[in-house]
Structure 1
Amino acid sequence: MLLHIPGVLNREQVAALRARLDTTDWVDGRTTVGAQGAQVKQNRQLGETSPLALELGQVVLAALAASPVFFAAALPLRTIAPLFNSYAGGEHYGAHVDGAMRRMPATAAGPGAWVRTDVSSTLFLSDPDDYDGGELIVTDVYGEHEVKLPAGDLILYPSTSIHRVEPVTRGARVCSFFWTQSMVRDDMRRSMLFELDQNIQSLRARLGDCPELVGLTGHYHNLLRQWSEA
């Protein structure tokens, strides 16, 4: 499922994040990928454990928690702390697949747990008019999908997808990105549950909780109960 979620951050939140990010020191983005990704990746990122990344990541996580659409689509069990990147001056990221597992940040109690990456998300912090190029290209069985969204909007897609970021030839493309381990591993099942949930919500707004809707809601929860791994 490839899903555009508008307005995860409002304009004031985007401006506040950008004010911090535009004056920070970035590091080579290749430090956060494996050997295959390092061959095709050319961008800059905040360090994964930098205080600024951790602080701004909490802003993003709070926004996700307030988004019922994100919850319905991702069915999150665990979400990796959001990261932040910037592309400019021809920087790009060639075709790749995200690693299947990511480690949560270490704590005083020991190394962080491993998290399976089921769902990838990119939260745009630059408006399309701010830069040329930089399209996120996601490939699936239906072909290639070009994504370039307004600041504050999010694109969600299966982590199994081959994807790339086109070279940025003017301005800067600034985003947050992160991975989620879903309660439902299979993308087709997540898509079915999301479609069922959205139809239930639409019908409830029109009809209230009639007996038929109670039955459909029961089917939703019974499917989730059968398919979830939480």
Structure 2
Amino acid sequence: MVIIEQLFSKDEVQQYRNELAQVPWSDGKNTAMGMAADVKQNTQADANHTSVQQLANGVLAKMGATPKLISAALPHKIFPPCFNRYSEQETYGFHVDAAIMRLPNSQDVIRSDMSMTLFLSEPDEYQGGELVIATEFGEHRIKCQAGDAVVYPSSSLHKVTPVTQGARIAAICWMQSLVPDQAMRQTLFELDQTIQSLANDSAANRQQLDNLHHVYHNLIRQFSQI
């Protein structure tokens, strides 16, 4: 689980909020699959609307230009971002994201390895609405600043607690990783973050950096699936 701080600036968040206020929204159950539909209570922006598609493309562009996110997820394929809204008394109970998702208007499918939530509402704009991710070490409760994103394994049980006041708006998407093994993805992320930190240290030994870089890419070759 990785927090990407300010994936979007405050100005960009406001621009998205203004655009989303002008598009049609519908019952989120329409896009839920299997048992998830029983516990999903929210609304979702019309994914076929031209403005929504342009906003989704903007999220994809940001993702592709964010090294920390690429390092954490190593994305191979990405399901187009969706936009959801939780108003008062709306919630999404514990569920697991579908393992296989068909890309819109396509016969292609992706395996959901990593999920991402991009918060578009400030924490003080709503009460409740926490993203809760269950792990073997207990539940993690997440309520980020507008513009921040959290990336986490799609295999985890997670939920959005009921919103009791205000409204919570977010973008969500799913990624198929080049490295399907979760433990290896974590190891590669930690290794890459160490390399990047050393690369910014003028006192770091170049030969040792080259050796670490060599190990990193050879691990990618060994464990990636294309």
- TM-score normalised according to structure 1 size: 0.95
- Aligned partners of 1:25 and 1:169: how far apart in 2? 23
- Aligned partners of 1:85 and 1:112: how far apart in 2? 25
The answer to which of 132-141 and 31-40 deviates more is: 31-40
**Matching of residues 120-159 of structure 1 within 5 Å:** 120-159=115-154
- Which structure 1 residue ranges, 5 or more long, are not aligned? none
Question: Which residue does 1:212 correspond to in 2?
Answer: 208
Deviations 1:125-172 (A, max 9, x none): 000000000000000111100000000000000000000000001110
- Aligned partners of 1:202 and 1:172: how far apart in 2? 38
Question: Which residue does 2:181 correspond to in 1?
Answer: 186
Question: Which residue does 1:221 correspond to in 2?
Answer: 217
Question: Which residue does 1:195 correspond to in 2?
Answer: 190
The answer to which of 66-75 and 208-217 deviates more is: 208-217
**1:51 offset after TM fit, Å?**
1.9
**1:66 offset after TM fit, Å?**
1.3
Q: In structure 2, the residue corresponding to 1:49 is in which secondary structure?
A: coil
> Do residues 87 (structure 1) and 80 (structure 2) align?
no
Question: Which residue does 1:72 correspond to in 2?
Answer: 71
Q: In structure 2, the residue corresponding to 1:7 is in which secondary structure?
A: coil
**1:208 offset after TM fit, Å?**
4.8
- Aligned partners of 1:212 and 1:70: how far apart in 2? 25
Deviations 1:70-114 (A, max 9, x none): 0000101011110000001110000000000111121xxxx3301
- Which structure 2 residue ranges, 5 or more long, are not aligned? none
- Aligned partners of 1:142 and 1:48: how far apart in 2? 36
Q: In structure 1, the residue corresponding to 2:172 is in which secondary structure?
A: strand
Instruction: State the percentage of identical aligned residues.
Output: 43
Question: Which residue does 2:165 correspond to in 1?
Answer: 170
- Aligned partners of 1:73 and 1:65: how far apart in 2? 12
Q: Which amino acid aligns with 2:50?
A: P
**1:50 offset after TM fit, Å?**
2.5
